[in-house]
Chains A and B, each alone.
Chain A
Amino acid sequence: MSEKIGIYVCECGPNIASKVDIEKIMQELAKLEDYKNKELIIKNHKLLCSVKGKIFLENEINENNLTHLVCAACSPRDHDTTFINVCKKTKLNPYLYQMVNIREQCAWIIPDKEEATSKAIRMIHAGMDRVLYQQPLEEKPLDSNPDVLIIGGGIAGMEAALTLASKNRSVYLVEKSEELGGKSAKLKELLPRQCVSLNTLRRKKSEIQSNRYIKVFTNTILDSIVGFLGNFEIVIKNVNGSGNTTELLAGAVVLATGFNLTDVSSLNSYNIKKEDEVYNALEIEEMLSANGKITMRNGNEPGKVALIHCVGRPEVGYCSKICCDYLLKIAKLIKDHSPKIEVTELYKHMCLPNKHDEDFYKLVKQKGVNFMKIKNANVTGTTINFTDITDAKKKLNVDMVIVGTAMIPSSDTVKLAEELKLDLHETGFFQEAHLKINPVSTNTDGVFVIGGAHGPVGITESMLQAQAAAGKIFTQLIPGQKIIPEIKVSEILEAYCTGCQTCLDVCGYGAIYFDEDKGISVVNEAICRGCGNCVGSCPSGSIRTKHFTNPQLYQEVKEALR
């Protein structure tokens, strides 16, 4: 069968037609008759992506028995998938089609119609020649495992486990300490309605323990993990003496490893000793939960308490979002129990982002808590030297200092990031795939990050993220449904590979492994994203990226320069 290239120029309504001379393009392309002995079908259309346009294209492919297709239209980011789907309805392999972006990168950036037209023709030529060098590719669907591994049994991890298990997903919940609950298990009361957190948590814990779909591993950490969305092979290790390991299979991983609090004694402005009456918020919550009141180390009630906001914020460089809220809560708890204790809050910024916060702030003020806006504070023992907003230097002696310290990533974050090939944000927390449009996913498909591991969040946001990650998993991993991995991936030609393993070092996704028996490197196609980093680094030229091969790119460059 002779080769027939179909070239379809989309006018995109007036978007392209008003900026380039469609007639001229058609005339120029018509001059190419018998182009490299290929038959050419050249047509234009008002709007190829419309319902009529798609039917037109489908009919054209079928009626003309096209062997190659070029669509000169908008950006492939807009409609590549549209035209691939049209190809899939026909006998034409979608990888024998090429899109030429004559809208965003031609018509819309060149005011001169003549210049734009000649650039469009040049780009179409490049696309035509590229498509001749393209090869048909076949998708390879893979079986996927719908089970989920959750690392971290705090409020976020528990909520994700319960949400997934509610639709009969098997969940492995791994917690490094001896009990589920995480930081929120230490809290005395929850904002804003002051419900007792322990009851809520106990209920969640007992729900998890009685749920037949959730298997809990306490005193356990992740030992190793390999794989990709739908197929992760996991080894977990018991850290409580035995060191026993367990092998698991799962399709997705949720990281809910929580946060730590900045160690206040590490800060330059804090000169404190271990025996000083300086506590962080979690220590106070634990104290309140244990005996319901605030006491000093000698068992007496303090006469004066100072709460300091934004401790460590300048050092870490970000706001921890929930500390103003919880310091207000602690002040209220102290006043509720012993109204005669003198409570002062020293703050730089009062961060009250939630809808209930203002009312709560008013309530705490009414309880007789003093508020003082300051510029900075130095703390030695329980003596606070501070500068107020009039630049006056002042001193405050109290019996107890409570610090609202910055939230920082938990200690195992770096190790987990290395293990799972995840990026870290400059703050040290895990980096999400996109802060706004993909906030709980990561750059590794099938790995999600929620709760304090994601950044400073309170319980509300942890719950939201847990439910969001569960939702993502429900849509990405459907029991019985195969997943289709990226098709434009790298492949290593066995005959040329010298086994130097340079590609293993440059692969950012960990998609290449070394086959000891054959002495060559091999690409795991399910992990590879086709970036082509390995291709450029291979000294023997044995790697090629499908759909972006050297001949295809050379040809495109050559024609663009003709």
Chain B
Amino acid sequence: MSKNYTPKIISFLCKWCSYTGADLAGINRSQYPTAILPIKVMCSSRVDPVFLIKAYLRGADGILVGG
């Protein structure tokens, strides 16, 4: 694995809470790794387990469901 390897973490973020929280982190100029790739959903309950399997098959290194 190369030294500069950046993992890819698909993050399903609920529009009402965690997506808003991620916005707040930005507004506060907090820092978190580039690895986080946000995907907005209307509610974390929308995240079908199949999404996780598909994301892993496509090469995700981790998945975060925020809700």
Contact = CB atoms under 8 A, between A and B. Distances in A.
Interface string B32-46: 101011111111011
Nearest to A538: B48
A118 to B, nearest CB: 8
Nearest to B35: A119
A502 to B, nearest CB: 13
Given A101-B38, A105-B38, A561-B59, A110 B31 contact: yes
Interface residues of B, number: 35
In the complex, which range does the number of interface residues on chain A fall in? 35 or more
B58 interface: yes
9 contacts: A108-B27, A109-B30, A531-B46, A545-B42, A548-B42, A554-B51, A554-B54, A561-B8, A561-B58
Given A77-B20, A560-B8, A535 B37 contact: no
CB-based closest 8 A-B pairs = A532-B46, A104-B26, A531-B43, A533-B45, A108-B26, A104-B23, A560-B37, A561-B58
Given A109-B31, A112-B34, A118-B34, 5 more contacts: A76-B40, A104-B23, A119-B34, A126-B39, A561-B10
Contacts, number: 101
Contacts of A116: 34
A33 interface: no
Nearest to B48: A536
Given A122-B37, A536-B48, A561-B37, A77 B23 contact: yes
Contacts of A119: 34, 37
Contacts of A107: 26
**Dominant secondary structure at the A interface:** helix
Contacts of B6: 115
B64 interface: no
A201 interface: no
A435 B49 CA distance: 34
Nearest to A548: B42
A109 B37 contact: no
Interface of B: 6, 8, 10, 19-20, 22-23, 25-27, 29-32, 34, 36-43, 45-51, 54-55, 58-60
Contacts of B31: 109-111
Interface string A52-92: 00000000000000000000000111000000000000000
A274 B25 CA distance: 58
A158 B57 CA distance: 61
Nearest to B4: A115
B48 A109 contact: no
Contacts of B25: 104, 109
Interface in A528-562: 529-533, 535-536, 545, 548, 550, 553-554, 556-558, 560-561
Contacts of A237: none
A329 interface: no
Given A557-B54, A561-B10, A531 B23 contact: no
Interface string A427-442: 0000000000000000
